[in-house]
Amino acid sequence: MPTAYLNPTSDVSNSPAWSIGLGSDVYARLDGITPTGSPNLDGDVISATASGKKCVIGFSDFDNTGVGSINSVRAQMVTGNTARGGNYAIGMRILNSGTGSAVWAEEVVSTFASVSYRTLSWSARTTSSSGGSAWNDTDLDNIQMEIHLDSINAGTTKVTRAWFKIDYSLAATDNAIFFGTNF
């Protein structure tokens, strides 16, 4: 099945604030290329040394040209921690900008710090809310992500990329050859 990716395009809030490296916008730190190096050397991130930090970011619109149905939406992030052997937990919640029905409760992913970044993936959501209806273009065009540092026991936790992975089916097309009345 085809996939599409929604990338951060705006800040909604940052309170209690994550530290913002190399600039003043959270979303701009999270829309880049996934780094291959160590979290210790990367300044193009949001970071925190204490739990409770929370930000909300907005995303690019979904191009629904040729889309038949949206099968699932999955939040993903590239994160790391500067303390080898430490651990941290990052929470993610799906929100909307006041339009659409996208709302999912926070889900936390815990991981151990290492010398390199890791990609964290949250559950693929097949509906726009718990017990809700199927995803639609309005939901995706107004989707937001809350990123919350739930716990940290050492070092600095860094987030360098965040996105939504959209799994969809193509719209049906009528490619049948018509064998008309010319027999």
Collect the ranges in the chain with pLDDT lower than 70.
Answer: 36, 174-183
* pLDDT given at position 98: 84
Cα dist from 94 to 19, 72, 73, whole Å: 22, 13, 10
Q: Which residues contact 50 (CB under 8 A, 6 or more apart)?
A: 149, 152
* pLDDT given at position 56: 97
Q: What is the pTM of this model?
A: 0.89
pLDDT in tens, 121-143: 999 999 998 778 899 999 999 99
* pLDDT given at position 15: 97
3-class SS shares of the chain: helix, strand, coil, % to 5: 5, 50, 45
* pLDDT given at position 79: 93
Distance (Å, whole) CA 72 – CA 61: 16
Neighbours of 55 (CB within 10 A): 26
* pLDDT given at position 16: 96
Neighbours of 154 (CB within 10 A): 15
DSSP per-residue string spanning 18-70: PEE-SSS-HHHHSBSPPP-S-GGG--SSEEESSTT-EEEEEEPPP--TTEEEE
